[in-house]
Amino acid sequence: MPNSNKLITINALQEHSNENPSGVESQNWQYQLSHCIKDFKALCEFLQLEPKNIPFSDHASQEFPLQVPIAFAKRMRKGDYNDPLLLQVLPVAKELVKTPGFVTDPLAEAQAKKLPGLIHKYKHRVLLTLSGACAINCRYCFRRHFPYSENSIASKQWQDILGYLKQDATIEEVIFSGGDPLASSDARLANFMADLAQIPHIKRLRIHTRLPIVIPDRITDKLCQMLNSSPLECVVVVHANHANEFDINVSQAISKLRATGAMVLNQAVLLKGINDTVEAQKALHSSSFSAGALPYYLFVLDAVQGAAHFDIDDQQAQKLMRELQAVLPGYLVPKLAREIPDKPNKTLLSI
């Protein structure tokens, strides 16, 4: 009997493969999130690729599953085995190699965990793992081994977090992270934002999310109304690594975010074979700016177990940035940085 999950995936792909001149997907964001591509052969069929020619690893996918929203897959180039968007999400055997220095908790977040779901590493700001869900499983993710089940934020945990925030008047900023915080419903986000707004010393809310890039329909009118009406200063940090991730749908989503008064920034990771050339970096930051997201950080890879094949040494990264400075105006050049455990801030790499 055919695999029913595979048939559903292929049918969904076929449903969404036609051009949509309105730039709007036929289903809402929750449907798109629950119908991501998780079947390797179905993805190959959609992209017109021969599975035998791809170094896919089922073992790697079992450890960290293949998951790609259809809206994102539509931006991959059909017939291209080296498509830079495909390479970001494809489980490969190289992930199974144990590389010295690459660990499951590269940022030592377990040491900075103060409560379930709350990480307090830097002065004046805390990070909340608001959701363990992601729309897309990026193979270089520094939280690919993160124990989300131990850090879920239900009602009791949220009350504990609010108590922690109220007791520390030095905390000025709360960062919604994950997973992806926008995998949470608008109603849940509204409740959290309303509670934070009642704490006098909380001034800013920052949301780190890949959803506006991979499922642009996530930027709903309700979400925008919440951001617009919040007394908190709002910053939305999206995450795109390649110029091809930006299309008209993404630009429209970012425009809606900016119309709320929120600042929109883009951060990226420097990845071998994906964006490690001057041409790719120039196109990325130019496209990000054109879409309405100001280039923010370009991170060298966090040493997470399973991602060593994406790594680029600091000297190569610094050389690339010097070359990038020569071809872009300063406001389009992101800060080259890495995160080092126990440091009080991001560490900028001199160029």
Which architecture, in CATH terms, is 109-348? Answer: Alpha-Beta Barrel (3.20)
Q: Which residue has the higher pLDDT, 155 or 24?
A: 155
The pLDDT value recorded for residue 1 is 38
Domain ranges of the chain: 4-96, 109-348
**Which pLDDT band holds residue 127 (cuts at 50, 70, 90)?**
very high
User: Which pLDDT value is given to residue 14?
Assistant: 52
* Strand-pair partners of 206: 175, 235
The per-residue pLDDT for 342 is 86
Whether residue 24 is predicted with pLDDT greater than 70 in this model: the reply is: no
Provide the phi-psi class of 342: left if phi over 0, else alpha when psi is between -120 and 50, else beta.
Answer: left
pLDDT of residue 290: 98
Q: Is the pTM value of this prediction over 0.85?
A: yes
Whether 268 has a pLDDT exceeding 90, the answer reads: yes
Can you tell me the mean pLDDT for 139-164?
97
Predicted local confidence at residue 3, as pLDDT: 46
pLDDT at res. 22: 36
Q: How confident is the model at residue 129 (pLDDT cuts 50, 70, 90)?
A: very high
Q: Is the pLDDT of residue 313 over 90?
A: yes
Q: With 90 as the cut, is the pLDDT of residue 351 above it?
A: no
Confidence of residue 194 (pLDDT cuts 50, 70, 90): very high
Joined tokens for residue 57: 């690893």
In this prediction, residues 248-254 reach a mean pLDDT of 98
Interval 90-113: pLDDT, tens: 999 999 999 999 999 999 999 999
Are 254 and 238 in contact, with CB atoms under 8 Å apart? yes
**What confidence tier does 140 reach under pLDDT thresholds 50, 70, 90?**
very high
pLDDT at 72: 98
Residue 128's pLDDT is 98
Predicted confidence (pLDDT) at residue 18 exceeds the cutoff of 90: no
pLDDT of res. 25? 47
pLDDT of residue 350: 87
Q: Is the pLDDT of residue 6 over 60?
A: no
Mean pLDDT of 4-16: 49
Mean pLDDT, the chain, as a whole number? Answer: 93
Give CA angle at 156 (151, 161), nearest 5°: 65
Nearest by Cα to 147 from 124, 119, 126, 185? 119
